Amino acid sequence: MSTATTTVTVAAVQMVSKIDVGANLRDAAELIARAARAGARLVVLPEYFCIMGRSDRDKVAAREPDGQGPIQSFLSAAAAEHGIWLVGGTTPIDAQQPDRVKNSVLVYDPQGHRATRYDKIHLFAFSRGEESYDEARTIAPGRELSTFEFQAIGSPRIKVGLSVCYDLRFPELYRALAPVDLILVPSAFTATTGRAHWETLLRARAIENLCYVLAAAQGGRHENGRATYGHSMLIDPWGKVVSMQEEGPGVVVGTIDTQIIAQMRTDLPALSHRVIK
């Protein structure tokens, strides 16, 4: 008789990343271990988990060739050590340009092998008063969508769609990924835009795609003076916030239930009613 269930435990790591890569990897290691001890079979790190530099140029200096480097080695080793699926969102990967990187989500399986990569497509720009950001100065945009599937022992197979931070404002990206069981959104939303839009956008993506959304965020005041919004959370397909951490380092743990996804898509078959595709 099969012992498989319809549920699997997942976790989002919230950080307040520093200037130093080594310090961030040590912080991430502790939080990953905490998530694994809580039973998470998939753990997601936030955008820029490995570096929040004094300037945007610092991540260019910290870039790694695709497939090698201390950040990638750390992610591989941590996934294998804990026997989990680990989503490193994001790592600066060489873009073959002297002044820009790819802002890449790297996914590792429980053996520490890389399963897939997603390069952030939409690049954030915002200017209001003294607050100004323009990721295009140091990041080369990605061009391709990415999904993967994972299955823990005794748990259902879960199809996952990848995105990063500012992608959240572009619902057409998620429609192109659909149908998926889980959307991941590693992020570093600013405090300004986060207060206004973060939870609203996350809940909308869950509701319109009838799937879970797991968002791992940066959350606090960084050494470089930047303030990020935090509020890492897991949201169910009805738009309900299952679990959340407002500020500071920590781990958000929750359960994905494929039976709930199936029931909600039966009750409200909106995905099958799509006319414009």
User: How far apart are the C-alpha atoms of 54 and 41, rounded to whole Å?
Assistant: 34
How does DSSP classify residue 228?
A: B
Say whether pLDDT at 108 is over 80: yes
Confidence grade of residue 153 (pLDDT, cut at 50, 70, 90)? confident
The single residue of 18, 59, 102, 120 carrying the catalytic annotation is 120
* Residue 165 known to be catalytic: yes
Q: What is the 3-state secondary structure (H, E, C) of 27-56?
A: HHHHHHHHHHHCCCCEEECCCCCCCCCCCC
Edge-to-edge strands of the sheet including 147-150? 147-150, 158-162, 182-184, 212-215, 232-235, 241-245
For residue 8, give the amino acid letter: V
Number of domains composing the chain:
1
Three-state secondary structure of 138-149: CECCCCCCCEEE
Flag whether pLDDT at 233 surpasses 60: yes
Confidence at residue 3, expressed as pLDDT on a 0 to 100 scale: 53
pLDDT digits (tens, 9 = 90+) for 54-93: 888 899 999 999 999 999 999 999 999 999 999 999 999 9
Backbone angles phi and psi of 59, in degrees to 5: -70, -25
Q: What is the CATH number of the domain that holds 136?
A: 3.60.110.10
Q: In Å, what is the CA distance from 74 to each residue of 36, 92, 93, 113, 232? A: 16, 14, 14, 12, 23
Q: How far apart are CA 113 and CA 9, in angstroms?
A: 21
What digits encode the pLDDT tens for the residues 192-203? 999 999 999 999
What pLDDT sits at residue 132? 81
For 128-134, what is the mean pLDDT? 83
- Average pLDDT of span 129-145: 91
Q: Which residues contact 200 (CB under 8 A, 6 or more apart)?
A: none
120 catalytic, yes or no?
yes
Task: Tell me whether residue 3 is in a domain.
Answer: no
Q: Give per-residue pLDDT as tens, 5-25.
A: 999 999 999 999 999 999 999
- Segment 21-48, tens digit of pLDDT: 999 999 999 999 999 999 999 999 999 9
Whole-model pTM: value is 0.96
**In sequence order, what E strands does the chain have?**
7-14, 42-44, 85-97, 100-108, 114-119, 125-128, 131-134, 147-150, 158-162, 182-184, 212-215, 232-235, 241-245, 250-257
The residue behind tokens 């996350």 is: 202
pLDDT digits (tens, 9 = 90+) for 234-277: 999 999 999 999 999 999 999 999 999 999 999 999 999 999 87
The token duo for 185 is 């959104």
Q: Is 150 helix (H, G, I), strand (E, B) or coil?
A: strand
Torsional sign, CA 90, 24, 57, 221: positive
Q: Which of 50, 64, 102, 165 is catalytic?
A: 165
Q: Per the residue annotation, which of 18, 47, 59, 199 is the catalytic one?
A: 47
Answer yes or no: is 25 within a domain.
Answer: yes
Domain that residue 186 falls in? 8-271
Helices 70-82 and 21-37, packing angle to 10 deg: 10
Q: Say if 170 falls within a structural domain.
A: yes
